[in-house]
């Protein structure tokens, strides 16, 4: 393979511990102490995790700190507090708060694991429950047929880089990890969130995307790592924003609301956002669908040519959703001159989308990738196209499965936000936006996120993901992530992964 001859970037960022005290509020288990407790302090002297604490001089023992509790499985230990309590006043159960968090696609395990990854940068074991959701289909039913782990792998020996331009002409862009950040507009997320993503992208020599809400000035220092999106609303699309970028992304459709334009509901359209979008503050902004300058493949080509004329050194990326004829759309985009075909499947994130569009219109990405991959192979143009997939990729394993199904790489979005502390409460569309300061442009709430802190967290997440991919590749005896592409034979389709190795 030609790609193997190319140098693989070894100069990758190191992980640094980025703790976040406030993200430690979730307790998996509840420890309750009944009134019968005599504050003898037995539990405090037994528990090695520090759930119970008795302060000398206090008449009563402190309420249990159940965040530290390891749960009922502790009963095998000699120090199990419930069994040792002389008054039988302790009990351990599952936590209601823990159950309240997450949903089938982003389970609470997955959210907590992603937080831990962003804090430490350490990889998740490949069989960790946080790698997989509970939605009962698609990625959540696909498992790698993992061989037993071999000897320790050396991440430096494994290349996870992908080429974004495979057409053989024009600028070559290689990113050291097979992902870049998907478009999130200014307005849908705060400037600090955008900055955090851009800083992380710069660190990792990969990209993030402006989304359709214009190109804020604060992102200009990161212009080599920021993709300019041209979406149907054309908000803030100007000659200079197209000229300063290395990749221009045309957003034809978005997986979370296929066949509909972008939505920014009135509350989030603050004066700052409205200025960027040249719109009236506090009006709801609905982008049209589709591009009203594109009614055919020929128009589409004209569109790309137009951007190429403004910036001849930029790569062209075409973001499309996943209709039945997605393979024809991809071929059309290739012949129109696109370097990157970016498929966005239905179950991805969004700042605001009609509920009916999210589940019911266009197919999930898991079906679109093999469809397009096989079609491009048969057309004989698979190796000239960089096929990226997005829409509901949550973990490193989702990205790996995407590649095994036939994509070259992936585009992620929501995972970045979870790294910043998103709890997936799903109120990004309403009122002042996000109570955690991520998906908001409220001048008070957006101060909750510090861009440098956020960049470190996202960078840690990428680091952790890269180590997971290295782990996976080394188990399969591969040294380059390109070897994984289209290896559906390494996958297994079932409700649960096979026990004990799996082959």
Residue 446 interacting with other proteins (CB under 8 A): no
**CA end-to-end span of the chain:** 27
Residue 443 interacting with other proteins (CB under 8 A): no
Choose between 41 and 370: whose C-beta lies nearer to other proteins: 370
Residue 283 interacting with other proteins (CB under 8 A): no
Among 183, 187, 348, 409, binds other proteins (CB under 8 A): 348
Residue 426 interacting with other proteins (CB under 8 A): yes
Site string for other proteins, 80-119 (x = CB under 8 A): ---------------xxx-xxx-xxxx-------------
Site string for other proteins, 379-418 (x = CB under 8 A): -------------x------------x--------x----
Residue 135 interacting with other proteins (CB under 8 A): yes
Residue 53 interacting with other proteins (CB under 8 A): no
What CA–CA distance (Å, rounded) separates 311 from 285?
A: 28
What CA–CA distance (Å, rounded) separates 489 from 289?
A: 39
Residue 14 interacting with other proteins (CB under 8 A): no
CB atoms within 10 A of CB 5: 6
Provide the β-strand partners of residue 264: 285
Residue 65 interacting with other proteins (CB under 8 A): yes
Residue 79 interacting with other proteins (CB under 8 A): no
Residue 357 interacting with other proteins (CB under 8 A): yes
Query: Which DSSP string do the residues of 20-42 spell out, in sequence order?
Result: -GGGG---SEEEEE-TT-----H
Question: Phi/psi at 480 (nearest 5 deg)?
Answer: -140, 135
Task: Specify the stretch interacting with other proteins by CB under 8 A; choose among 8-16, 146-154, 193-201, 342-350.
Answer: 342-350
Among 26, 70, 218, 310, binds other proteins (CB under 8 A): 26
Among 271, 312, 431, 443, binds other proteins (CB under 8 A): 431
Residue 488 interacting with other proteins (CB under 8 A): yes
CB 31 within 8 A of CB 92: yes
What CA–CA distance (Å, rounded) separates 442 from 426?
A: 17
In the complex, minimum distance from the CB of residue 25 to other proteins, in angstroms, rounded to a whole number: 4
Q: How far is CA 246 from CA 181, 314, 316, 413, in A?
A: 14, 5, 9, 20
Among 42, 184, 439, 472, binds other proteins (CB under 8 A): 439
Residue 360 interacting with other proteins (CB under 8 A): yes
Choose between 371 and 485: whose C-beta lies nearer to other proteins: 371
CB 211 within 8 A of CB 186: yes
Residue 260 interacting with other proteins (CB under 8 A): yes
Choose between 164 and 423: whose C-beta lies nearer to other proteins: 423
* Strands 340-344 and 315-320, sheet pairing: parallel
Q: How far is CA 358 from CA 304, 333, 430, 502, in A?
A: 28, 24, 17, 34
Among 121, 213, 236, 349, binds other proteins (CB under 8 A): 349
377 preceded by cis ω (within 30°)?
no
Choose between 232 and 311: whose C-beta lies nearer to other proteins: 232
Task: Specify the stretch interacting with other proteins by CB under 8 A; choose among 8-16, 151-159, 194-202, 366-374.
Answer: 366-374
Site string for other proteins, 457-476 (x = CB under 8 A): --------------------
SS3 (DSSP) at 291: coil
Choose between 120 and 488: whose C-beta lies nearer to other proteins: 488
Residues of this chain, 150-169, that bind other proteins according to CB under 8 A: none
Q: What is the DSSP letter of 412?
A: E
Residue 141 interacting with other proteins (CB under 8 A): yes
Task: Specify the stretch interacting with other proteins by CB under 8 A; choose among 21-29, 71-79, 216-224, 237-245.
Answer: 21-29
Task: Specify the stretch interacting with other proteins by CB under 8 A; choose among 82-90, 319-327, 375-383, 470-478.
Answer: 319-327
What CA–CA distance (Å, rounded) separates 200 from 412?
A: 13
Residue 436 interacting with other proteins (CB under 8 A): yes
CA angle 291, 292, 293 (to 5 degrees): 90
Residues of this chain, 28-47, that bind other proteins according to CB under 8 A: 30
Residue 55 interacting with other proteins (CB under 8 A): no
Q: Which pairs from 23-26 meet CB under 8 Å and 24+ separation? A: 23/115, 23/119, 23/421, 24/67, 25/67, 26/67, 26/95, 26/97, 26/98, 26/101, 26/108, 26/112
What CA–CA distance (Å, rounded) separates 164 from 384?
A: 10
Residue 194 interacting with other proteins (CB under 8 A): no
Among 47, 61, 132, 140, binds other proteins (CB under 8 A): 140
CB 372 within 8 A of CB 140: no
Positive or negative torsion for Cα 488, 489, 490, 491: positive
* Strands 491-493 and 142-144, sheet pairing: antiparallel
Choose between 406 and 454: whose C-beta lies nearer to other proteins: 406
- Give the count of residues interacting with other proteins (CB under 8 A): 99
Residue 259 interacting with other proteins (CB under 8 A): yes
Residue 321 interacting with other proteins (CB under 8 A): yes
Provide the β-strand partners of residue 343: 320, 389
What CA–CA distance (Å, rounded) separates 501 from 195?
A: 42
């Amino acid at each position: 393979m030609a790609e193997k001859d190319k140098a693989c970037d070894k100069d990758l960022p190191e992980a640094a511990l980025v703790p976040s005290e406030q993200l430690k509020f979730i307790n998996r288990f509840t420890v309750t102490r009944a009134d019968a407790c005599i504050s003898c302090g037995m539990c405090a002297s037994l528990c090695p995790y520090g759930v119970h604490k008795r302060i000398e001089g206090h008449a009563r023992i402190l309420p249990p700190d159940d965040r530290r509790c390891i749960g009922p499985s502790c009963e095998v230990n000699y120090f199990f507090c419930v069994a040792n309590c002389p008054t039988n006043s302790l009990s351990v159960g599952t936590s209601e708060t823990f159950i309240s968090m997450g949903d089938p696609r982003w389970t609470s395990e997955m959210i907590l694991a992603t937080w831990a990854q962003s804090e430490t940068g350490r990889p998740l074991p490949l069989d960790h429950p946080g790698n997989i959701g509970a939605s009962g289909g698609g990625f959540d039913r696909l498992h790698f047929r993992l061989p037993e782990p071999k000897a320790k792998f050396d991440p430096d020996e494994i290349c996870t880089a992908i080429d974004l331009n495979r057409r053989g002409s024009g600028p070559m862009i290689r990113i050291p990890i097979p992902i870049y950040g998907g478009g999130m507009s200014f307005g849908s997320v705060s400037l600090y969130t955008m900055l955090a993503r851009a800083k992380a992208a710069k660190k990792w020599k990969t990209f993030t995307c402006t989304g359709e809400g214009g190109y804020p000035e604060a992102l200009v220092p990161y212009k080599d790592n920021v993709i300019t999106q041209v979406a149907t609303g054309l908000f803030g699309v100007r000659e200079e924003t197209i000229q300063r970028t290395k990749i221009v992304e045309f957003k034809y459709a978005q997986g979370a609301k296929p066949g509909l334009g972008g939505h920014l509901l009135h509350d989030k359209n603050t004066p700052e956002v409205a200025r960027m979008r040249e719109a009236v503050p506090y009006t709801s902004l609905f982008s049209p669908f589709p591009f009203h300058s594109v009614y055919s493949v020929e128009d589409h080509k004209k569109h790309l040519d137009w951007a190429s004329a403004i910036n001849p050194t930029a790569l062209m990326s075409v973001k499309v959703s996943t209709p039945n004829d997605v393979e024809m759309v991809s071929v059309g985009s290739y012949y129109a001159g696109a370097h990157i075909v970016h498929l966005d499947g239905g179950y991805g994130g969004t700042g605001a989308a009609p509920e009916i569009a999210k589940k019911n219109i266009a197919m999930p990405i898991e079906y679109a990738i093999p469809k397009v991959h096989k079609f491009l192979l048969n057309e004989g143009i698979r190796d000239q196209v960089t096929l990226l997939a997005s829409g509901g990729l949550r973990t490193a394993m989702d990205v790996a499965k995407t590649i095994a199904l036939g994509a070259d790489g992936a585009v992620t979005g929501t995972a970045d936000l979870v790294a910043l502390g998103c709890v997936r409460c799903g109120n990004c569309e309403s009122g002042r936006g996000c109570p955690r300061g991520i998906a908001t442009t409220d001048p008070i709430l957006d101060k909750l996120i510090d861009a440098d802190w956020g960049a470190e967290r996202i960078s840690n997440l990428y680091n952790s993901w890269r180590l997971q991919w290295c782990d996976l590749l080394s188990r399969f005896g591969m040294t380059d992530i390109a070897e994984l592409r289209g290896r559906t034979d390494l996958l297994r389709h079932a409700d649960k992964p096979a026990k004990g190795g799996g082959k």
